[in-house]
Chains A and B, each alone.
Chain A
Amino acid sequence: MVSPAPTTANGHPPASKPLLEIRGLKMHFPVKGGVLMRAQKQCKAVDGVDLHVNEGETLGLVGESGCGKSTLGKCVVRLNKITGGQVTFDGTDITQLGRSALKPYRKDIQMIFQDPAESLNPRHTIGNLLAEPFIIHGLLSAKERDIKVAELLEKVGLQASAADRFPFEFSGGQRQRIGIARAIALNPRLIVCDEPVSALDVSVQSQILNLLVDLQREMRLSYIFIAHNLAVVKHISDRIAVMYLGKIVELAPADELFANPLHAYTKALISAIPEPVPGGGRAQRILLQGDVPSPIDPPEGCAFAYRSWLPTSDDQKRQPGTFREVTPGHWVELHPGTVEDYEKYL
């Protein structure tokens, strides 16, 4: 895949440098097997991704389970040891930084997890959980920390008295608020939100989405928002990247992506969303055949062409596509099996 850096390859340099830049990111996991449990194969969870996130922007990341979107998020937070490529945060290459060198960046890049019940230690009070980031980074006195914890709780819509209680005393939505409070504690600049609302009921989901949007405006946060629910991603994102089998197949401003999807996979994803309107109002649904292929030994060439409804020859399937900017800000993987009349975009 020809994959130019999104900010420079489009001819004109960006107005300001992006906060986060990802180039050629690869995250391969060894698949062990055999008698000696040696690595026999590579699971290519993320296989050559270029993305950037601007200050104050939300980049949505969508795709089906196993496409590598969560792994990509974990690479950005450096919870994984990155196999290849480069992650640059605010001008510094953080890809290979060691534990102590990374510490200042831990403050700036935070994460919100899907299941707040599992990401909060059940044996600690909320007050302890929220004070921990300050203790780890050696900030504030004990007294100041208490005040700060109360402030944080208020900021996410909880009462200051919550500090003395334990995670199990809260509902799912409240626990997610606590997870958010912990993520914003150190005034981060970027938060990776990994399916932050998918475990929540719809009425609570909207409360959390509103909170995330409010906090973004107030604190000028950037988000990488990972989710499988396209309506939710569209609601919160400025730009959206569609991921398929470890690669980005389409990247566009949110409204543009939905108004004018080009990649066959994006079209199928959008058409598969069940909309809460009886009788539809939807154009023809595109049903994809079969499942996503395995990221262990992914097919040669264009991974999606094997599942696409567009006519392609076997020969073409084995050819990789090229990632091109077809209109300003709208990138797509061009291949006979992925984009109709793809020649006209070449």
Chain B
Amino acid sequence: MSASDQPILRVRNLATAFDTDGGRVTAVDGVSFDVPRGKTLGIVGESGCGKSVTAMSIMRLLPRPSGVILGGEVLLDGTDLLQLSLDEMRKVRGKRVSMIFQEPMTALNPVHRIGRQLSEVFLLHEKISEKEAWNRSIEMLAKVGIPAPEIRVGEFPHQLSGGMRQRVVIAMALALKPSLVIADEPTTALDVTIQAQILELMKELQAEMGMSIVLITHDLGVIAEMCDEVVVMYAGRVAERGSADVIFNNPRHLYTRGLLDSIPRLGGKRKATLQTIPGMVPGLAEMPVGARFAPRSPHPKAPAYIASPAYQNKRPELLQIAPNHWVEDEEVVRVIKQEVSQ
């Protein structure tokens, strides 16, 4: 184990592509971030930005053979997960890093009892009897707040409500006390009052068990509520990353700012015109090498940049602008300074 101030997970230049009929398309293009120990890092972005593919790449759960990791490092406590054999990776999954999926109905097997599915986690990784595994399943269900766990353990997924099913999925993910949990849109399928329950549960369990969380969501409200650190992804790349405070209160990428400005706020004026981000994300097959947000940027120099060779050839790096704040190093996608001082 490394020192406690070392990040639990370091992702470096991760690149993932898919082979399609139309050729290879890169879905994640050089993504880097650190997950601090015991903290929650949020990855936010719109559909197709590569946030789920990033999670699947970390877990090595990409569809085969179409999904290919082109390069980079995923260092979990110093171990590069990308270098592990499939067998070794199987031992890591569940034990050291586990995953909570969006749709609990598809994450659970409909024909097996809850207890059998939970027991399997223990039986696969530990040498214990089935009876013992069953009892530990009941303990886990109690821990995630399922009432009457000794009855629920013998039921099937369809007998549980959506919120209860997500609790079961969380119980499975946390059963072996992994040091890192990746939660991909864990509350998107749930109603807002149930979402509040699940988020609260995740916070409680984190305080108790100390695991780190990577939370993937498109909901900036959930990010603000849960996360210490935030990565904003756009078109397969990191646009900006930093502490939740700087991302929400001093965003420097025009995309981050555009996202924040386009959400209707409870305190906002009704029927007032909302800010929008013009245009669309470029298609995966036609991604430029340069700053990918440029065509949608309101920056006055954006058209000139798009016409320049840099847009076709020069990939912007992440520029560190504060101890814990990085932004894509290309003037036309950054917030213009005067606007910040307002």
Contact = CB atoms under 8 A, between A and B. Distances in A.
Interface of A: 64-65, 171-173, 201-203, 205-207, 209-210, 213, 228-232, 234-238, 254-255, 258, 268-280, 285, 287-288, 291-292
Closest 10 CB pairs of A and B: A274-B221, A235-B264, A206-B274, A201-B46, A206-B262, A272-B196, A64-B191, A203-B277, A276-B220, A278-B244
Given A202-B259, A236-B270, A255-B270, A171 B280 contact: yes
A276 B224 CA distance: 5
B194 A291 contact: yes
Given A274-B199, A276-B224, A287-B200, A269 B263 contact: no
Nearest to A233: B264
A178 to B, nearest CB: 15
Interface string B82-100: 0000000000000000000
A272 B193 contact: yes
Given A235-B268, A236-B270, A274-B219, A287 B262 contact: no
Interface of B: 46-47, 161-164, 191-197, 199-200, 218-225, 227, 244-245, 248-249, 258-260, 262-266, 268, 270-271, 273-277, 280
Contacts of A210: 273-274, 276
B266 A202 contact: no
Nearest to B283: A171
A269 B47 CA distance: 26
Contact of B264 (A209, A228, A291): A209
A113 to B, nearest CB: 19
A171 B47 CA distance: 11
Given A203-B262, A210-B273, A235-B274, 9 more contacts: A203-B259, A213-B271, A229-B192, A231-B264, A236-B270, A273-B192, A279-B245, A280-B225, A291-B162
A13 to B, nearest CB: 26
Contacts of B221: 273-276
B47 A228 contact: no
Contacts of A269: 192-193
Given A171-B280, A230-B266, A201 B218 contact: yes
A231 B266 contact: yes
B123 to A, nearest CB: 31
Contacts of B200: 285, 287
Nearest to B247: A278
A206 B276 contact: yes
Contacts of A228: 191-192
B194 A231 contact: no
Given A210-B276, A255-B270, A276 B248 contact: yes
20 contacts: A202-B218, A202-B220, A206-B276, A229-B192, A232-B264, A235-B271, A236-B271, A255-B270, A272-B193, A272-B196, A273-B192, A274-B196, A274-B221, A274-B224, A274-B225, A276-B248, A279-B245, A280-B225, A285-B196, A291-B163
A230 B46 CA distance: 20
B183 to A, nearest CB: 14
Given A202-B46, A235-B271, A291-B163, A230 B262 contact: no
A180 to B, nearest CB: 15
Given A203-B259, A280-B225, A288-B193, A234 B276 contact: no
A59 to B, nearest CB: 13
A276 B218 CA distance: 12
Contacts of B264: 206, 209, 231-232, 234-235
A278 B245 contact: yes
A269 B197 CA distance: 12
B200 to A, nearest CB: 6
Contacts of A258: 266
Contacts of A271: 196
Nearest to A232: B264
B97 to A, nearest CB: 25
Contacts of B245: 278-279
B191 to A, nearest CB: 4
A246 B274 CA distance: 32
A291 B222 CA distance: 20
A213 B191 contact: no
Contacts of B195: 272, 274
Contact of B270 (A205, A254, A275): A254
Contacts of B260: 276
Given A230-B266, A235-B271, A287-B196, A275 B163 contact: no
B193 A235 contact: no
Contact of B274 (A209, A238, A270, A279): A209
A217 to B, nearest CB: 9
Contacts of A277: 224, 248
B316 to A, nearest CB: 21
Nearest to A272: B196
B15 to A, nearest CB: 24
A79 B148 CA distance: 41
Nearest to A58: B271
A69 to B, nearest CB: 12
A263 to B, nearest CB: 13
A276 B197 contact: no
Nearest to A275: B221
A201 B245 CA distance: 23
Contacts of B220: 202, 276
Contact of A65 (B191, B223, B225, B275): B191
A268 B268 CA distance: 20
B236 to A, nearest CB: 15
Contacts of B199: 274
Contacts of B193: 64, 268-269, 272, 287-288
A64 B274 CA distance: 25
Nearest to A205: B262
